[in-house]
Amino acid sequence: MSRLDRYYRRGYAWFDERLDLDSERSTLGKAFPAEDSFLLGEIALFSFVVLVLTGIFLGFFYQPITAMVEYQGSVAQYHGEEVPHAYASVLAITHDISYGMFIRRLHHWAAHLFIASAALHMMRVFFQGAYRNPREPNWVIGVLLVVLGMAAGFTGYVLPYDNFAAEAASIGYVVASSIPIVGGEIAWVLFGGDYPTALSIPRMYFLHVLVIPLLIGILLAAHMVILYRQKHTEGPRDEAFTGEPVTPADAPATASAEDGGAELGLPNEPTTTDGGQPEAAASADGDRTVDRDDDGVVVGLPLFPQQAALSAIVFFLTLGTLSLLSGFFSVHNIAEYGPYDPATTPELVLPDWYLMWMFGILKLLPDWAGVGPLSVEFVGGVLVTGLVILVVIAWPFIDRYEEPGHFVVDPLERDWQTATGVAGIAFLSVLSLGGMNTVVSDLTGIATSSLNPILLSLAIVLPIVAWLIVYASLGGFADDSGDGPEPSGGDEDA
């Protein structure tokens, strides 16, 4: 027994005497497949942790007040001038408080990484069919987390109260107030009345630091509870698997190469989701064989200590990446745009990348899209946007499966599902180009009045073309004619 093993056993025994860890053995022994792409969800979780910690730091210094105050900070161009208190406090965080600029950048980049990793995690789940029965609830939670992440980004974007952010936030006010009958009340709740008012920043601050993070925390907790209650998804096995079942207490002793360690240096002993004995045949020496098609047992790393150690590495890699981004790449420079000034408008106002597709809908829809009491802002910002989100939420019930499935599926074996996913990406990409139509216009020399109809047509035609190409490439038409291979994807019922 190595010195490390002895230290581990002594430490485990010390905590077991005090915390009765053995009673939680089933939780600590939950199996996690050793696949790198499965770590995207952990990156999103760790980004949220960084967001909370850096947000607490920023909260000590930020003032959600629009009243004017004489600026006494180190930014020379505003020294002695009256600026909104919120604007002055962000200038102070950025230029006058020790580590303030770095923490603000860290908060900014963590927000982007949270949404990006969560979106990539969802794409992995979608293309591999990991949303199938019984994981529909976690798919819905995942979509809501991304939506809340975008809402957190929007409300945080408003807080500096600089001229750029105030103009961008006014788009949200216009969309909210465009809702028939209740639009005025919704705009009052969110913005405190006709934007901007003295209540707008406090309302956005309240949503940004309390309501939205609380909802994200609740959904993350629900996501984790469901994850523990269910069997983890796993990639198809190349062959049957034989090994000694892992339990938390003896995991270190069996995690050696001579026990059949995988090429990553990780143990490859099978362990069930409840940390108990796999429901498989046991040999005389205690090894058990798990058939390659048996999805009743998950082969992977037990939560403790292997997966916990891997998660710690992922956390520090995430923190290191965010630190590098914060050290080398600046964020929104509010000193350049100045405090909110209703008499001027920045030359180019664009939202962050994850909101660009919504902005694109508003830009590309022609005025005639507004019908009767339904304004074009309502049609684009509420109806179309809401329909896209609703379809994504409902996807597991559209591609419905009666029988539970625990193996992920090769996207190349899912013709119409993969084709739909590619079409969706094409749709959002063109809409995002529409949100940047002024930039595209400058690059192409085509006036936005001519460019918008082209992009709108592409937003309709390109997804259809992409769907047909991918569906045909994966043999979908051949399957329909009965001449090709049998469609895969499990026991679909839709």
pLDDT tens-digit readout, 386-414: 999 999 999 999 999 998 888 899 999 99
pLDDT, tens digit, for every residue of 363-384? Answer: 999 989 988 889 999 999 999 9
Q: What is the mean pLDDT of residues 458-476?
A: 96
Phi, psi angles (nearest 5°) of residue 31: -85, 140
Q: Is residue 283 part of a domain?
A: no
Three-class DSSP category at 406? coil
Asked whether the predicted pLDDT for residue 25 surpasses 70, the reply is no
Distance, in Å, from the CA atom of 388 to the CA atom of 390, rounded to the nearest integer, reads 5
Q: What is the mean pLDDT of residues 2-7?
A: 78
Q: Is residue 251 part of a domain?
A: no
Q: Is residue 246 part of a domain?
A: no
Cβ burial of 19 (10 Å; 0-12, 13-18, 19+) is exposed
78 Cβ contact list (under 8 Å, min separation 6): 71, 88, 91, 335, 338, 339
Q: Output the pLDDT for position 61.
A: 97
Structure tokens at 245: 């079942």
Contact 303, 28 (CB under 8 A): yes
Confidence of residue 464 (pLDDT cuts 50, 70, 90): very high
Q: Count of alpha carbons within 13 Å of 122, Cβ hemisphere only?
A: 24
Whole-number mean pLDDT of the chain?
85
Among the residue ranges 161-175, 262-276, 462-476, the one predicted with the least confidence is 262-276
Q: Where are the beta strands (DSSP E) in 100-251?
A: 241-243
Q: Is residue 169 part of a domain?
A: yes
CA torsion, ordered 189, 190, 196, 198, to nearest 10 deg: 60
Q: Is residue 427 part of a domain?
A: no
Asked whether the predicted pLDDT for residue 469 surpasses 90, the reply is yes
Asked whether the predicted pLDDT for residue 483 surpasses 60, the reply is no
Q: 69, 101, 103: which is closest to 78 by C-alpha?
A: 69
Q: 128, 84, 197: which is closest to 408 by C-alpha?
A: 128
Q: Is residue 265 part of a domain?
A: no
CB count, 10 Å around CB of 186?
15
End-to-end CA, the chain = 55
Q: Output the pLDDT for position 243.
A: 66
Structure tokens at 76: 């020379």
Q: In what order do the strands lie in the sheet with 281-282?
A: 241-243, 288-290, 281-282
Q: Is residue 28 part of a domain?
A: no
pLDDT, tens digit, for every residue of 186-227? Answer: 999 999 988 888 999 999 999 999 999 999 999 999 998 898
Q: Output the pLDDT for position 191.
A: 92
Q: What is the mean pLDDT of residues 299-318?
A: 87
Distance, in Å, from the CA atom of 87 to the CA atom of 79, rounded to the nearest integer, reads 13
Among the residue ranges 141-155, 272-286, 425-439, 450-464, the one predicted with the least confidence is 272-286
**Which of the pair, 67 or 247, is modelled with greater confidence?**
67
Asked whether the predicted pLDDT for residue 138 surpasses 60, the reply is yes
Three-class DSSP category at 253? helix
CA dist 362 → 163, 383, 385 (Å): 21, 11, 10
CA Rg value for the chain: 26
Please spell the DSSP secondary structure of 173-186, one letter per residue.
HHHHHTSTTTHHHH
Q: Output the pLDDT for position 276.
A: 40
Q: Output the pLDDT for position 195.
A: 86
Q: Is residue 339 part of a domain?
A: yes
pLDDT, tens digit, for every residue of 78-95? Answer: 999 999 999 999 999 999
Q: What is the mean pLDDT of residues 115-125?
A: 95
Expressed as residue numbers, the domain containing 214 is 33-236+300-359+378-394
Three-class DSSP category at 172? helix
**CATH number of the domain within which 63 lies:** 1.20.810.10
Total domains in the chain come to 1
